[in-house]
Structure 1
């Protein structure tokens, strides 16, 4: 058994997404103590920003004419795709930044697609938990309803393109505890925090059983 764990927080020491993902992973590893966990942390070990361009242009370049950088990019993109495809279960902890998906996570997705092809269902039938955390509130009726341009993209890639059996754990208002302007939302934020942790425990057990 192989669990693939990806993190994308740029603040790993205080990551809200990692806190939730850690609970999911703990439940999974408790059920599979001898299994392998393959980890990739894009926040602490980001992929080179130009690698996707190199891997993509290499696909349109005859092999004999590819530069060393293009060849290296193809090797990396293939390795990243294989890392995902080899998973028996997956956990992705992906925070929301600047109203969308962070560039370092998008670079990873683009490289995986370059390595596997744009329509390859890398996670088909694979139980997968997506943990995403948002500093503010973006639900219906909030001042910034509809500003979450990250979660729909994540669901599209994981569930629709890669065909994962996807469970989403979404926690909002993570900045309420430290932002004075959000003081009135702190009780709600704490309830959402507690609910997310409880959902994570259940999701981890379910992930282990599937």
Structure 2
């Protein structure tokens, strides 16, 4: 069984999204005797920022120069998803939005002939865990309610455009321990983190069970 894991945090030590994904991966591994994990770390190895534009331009301008390296990258990224049985995406909230390197990854995949907007959802129904971390609080009634532009977007892309069976584990208020003004929220932050890890473990195990039952 093959798991594809995507990490997007620019941090390694102290990254909550990576830690949640580690929990989910550990639970997934425990259910498989010989697991295979394919990794792409966008946080440490971002994709070329101009790759999407160089390929997309050729679809509108017949005189635009070809972009064979970017086109080959799209093929490579698509193959990583097509060859996997299950998926694990670890994404933090940066500046109330999606990290730029994740947006580049998605934009390139949407140009893929099978996975993109003109494709037929070849990975639809496959299970996936989405591990999300948010430094602040964005729930109903909070001052920043509605400022989280990552969660709904990723649910739309991963769950609807790609058609994945998406299971979400999330933790917020992750900056409370290092932000004096957020000190009163540290108890809530600890609870959110515990719940996030519990959900990540449960989702990792559930994804493994779904793959096993479908095999």
Task: Using structure 2 for the length normalisation, give the TM-score.
Answer: 0.92
Q: Deviations over 1:3-53 (max 9, x none)?
A: 000000011222100101001101111212312110000000000000001
Structure 1 segment 24-39 matched on structure 2, within 5 A? 24-39=24-39
- What corresponds to 2:117 in structure 1? 118
Residue 3 of structure 2 aligns to a residue whose secondary structure is strand
Q: CA RMSD in A?
A: 1.5
- What corresponds to 1:208 in structure 2? 208
Residue 114 of structure 1 aligns to a residue whose secondary structure is coil
CA contact (8 A) 1:81 1:122 kept: no
Structure 1 segment 8-27 matched on structure 2, within 5 A? 8-27=8-27
Residue 10 of structure 1 aligns to a residue whose secondary structure is coil
Residue 194 of structure 2 aligns to a residue whose secondary structure is helix
Separation in 2, partners of 1:182, 1:118: 42
Unaligned runs of 5+ in 1: none
Residue 87 of structure 2 aligns to a residue whose secondary structure is strand
CA contact (8 A) 2:129 2:200 kept: no
Of 84-93 and 119-128, the range deviating more from structure 2: 119-128
Q: Deviations over 1:39-88 (max 9, x none)?
A: 000000000000001121234466xx7746x0111110111012112210
Structure 1 segment 81-160 matched on structure 2, within 5 A? 81-116=78-113, 117-120=116-119, 121-160=121-160
In the TM superposition, residue 2 of structure 1 has moved relative to its aligned partner by: 1.0
In the TM superposition, residue 119 of structure 1 has moved relative to its aligned partner by: 4.5
Aligned length: 207
Unaligned runs of 5+ in 2: 211-215
Separation in 1, partners of 2:138, 2:50: 32
Separation in 2, partners of 1:119, 1:32: 34
Runs of 4+ aligned structure 1 residues displaced above 6 Å come to none
Separation in 1, partners of 2:40, 2:155: 19
Separation in 2, partners of 1:56, 1:36: 33
Separation in 2, partners of 1:8, 1:51: 18
